[in-house]
Every structure is written in structure tokens, then in C-alpha cells.
Chains A and B, each alone.
Chain A
């Protein structure tokens, strides 16, 4: 079964700082997702990656398939970026027909 580890668990940054959140997984995947969960609980899908790099606004996501590692970067962080960021992988060996395995999340707080 795939294990998904995120680091750090908690992260506090000052507004404007460059932020990196890491995700590692243990076995092969078909895709990796980065999600954002706001304090109210709603989930927003940020990226779906199967290789390389994607950019959307101030967010950049990269994945290294060989190293089984992905990073989410936030440039020029802002207090509104405060949320829990969750990594989830679509496990190619998963018996549950495309089930996602989720990391525990990284709680980001950006101070003004």
C-alpha cells in the first residue's frame, strides 16, 4: 500500500516569503494531486501532476517520478494563502479502482 508523507506538518511564514511544502510517496503512482483545505473545511483542487511542473499564478508544483517526490511552492506568500495543503496520490497498485491515498496535510499560516 502506498504511504504518503508530507513535510512540514506545520509552517508559519511572514507575508512575502517563498514557501515550499514537500510530499513523498512509497510506490508508483499514476498521478499526484495538490489540494487546499480552508479553515471552513472546503477542498479546492490546485494541481494534478503526472510529470514535470505546473504553474498557476503564485503556485508552482513539481514532481520527480524517479525520486517519488513532489513539491508545492508558493511565491510572495500572502495571509490569504493560510490553509491546509494536502498531497494525494492515485495509486497504480490500488485495489480500490483509482482510490487516492492522502497525506495528513501541511498547515500553513502566513502572518502579515
Chain B
């Protein structure tokens, strides 16, 4: 069965520190993978999506980057976090009309 793992669940990081959030999937190959962010009072917004290894598309300009080093691994990164990067980050993958979601990461930048 298809599963998706995302970690950590919560993270508190100082301004200017780096960030690495990891997402891995099981039970599928060549999935479409997505990173979303939910800022306070807003809905989840697409940050990045990937249709294959090394293929990353960005939807909004930001202080973040994404990488897909392996077929079932999707990483969200930042070299230097800003206060505005605080929020809830969600990894997801889709197959046809089905979608599967990670547990999410609550990031607080202090």
C-alpha cells in the first residue's frame, strides 16, 4: 500500500539557520510529489512540485528550494531561514485522482 513519511513533525529554528525537511514515499514508483505551505490564516499553497528525479518546478518565489535526489525522496531546504518562513509544511504525492499526504511539519522560526 502507498504510504508517505514526512519528518520532523515540529521544528523550532532560529532566524538565519538552515532547514531540511524530508519526505519519502513507499508503494509507488515515479510519483508526482508536492510541497505545500500553510501560513497563518491561509490555505495550503503549492511551493514546489516534481514529476521525476532532479525535476523541480517552483510555483512561488521564496527563500526555499527543493530537491529530488531519488525517485521516492523529496527534500525542502533553506540556507537561511526568515521569520516569514514559519508555517505548516505538507508533503503530498498524487497518482491519477488519488492523493496521499504526509503528517506535516509545524515550523516556527524564532
Binding site for B on A (CB under 8 A): 4, 30-31, 33, 35, 37, 40-45, 48, 50, 86, 88, 90, 96-100, 102-105
- In the complex, the answer to whether B43 meets A102 with C-beta atoms within 8 Å is yes
For the complex, is B64 an interface residue (Cβ under 8 Å from A)?
no
- In the complex, the answer to whether A102 meets B57 with C-beta atoms within 8 Å is no
Measured in the bound complex, the distance between the Cα atoms of B34 and A72 in whole Å is 25
Binding site for A on B (CB under 8 A): 9-10, 32, 34, 36, 41-46, 49, 51, 57, 59, 88, 90, 92, 94, 97-106
- In the complex, the answer to whether B43 meets A41 with C-beta atoms within 8 Å is no
Q: Which of B9, B34, B105 contacts A99 (CB 8 A)?
A: B34
- In the complex, the answer to whether A45 meets B99 with C-beta atoms within 8 Å is yes
Q: Which of A40, A42, A86, A96 contacts B44 (CB 8 A)?
A: A86
Chain B residues contacting A43 (CB-CB under 8 Å) are 90, 101-104
- In the complex, the answer to whether B57 meets A48 with C-beta atoms within 8 Å is no
Which 10 pairs show the lowest CB-CB distances between chains A and B? A31-B97, A102-B44, A104-B43, A98-B94, A42-B103, A102-B43, A43-B101, A41-B106, A41-B104, A30-B97
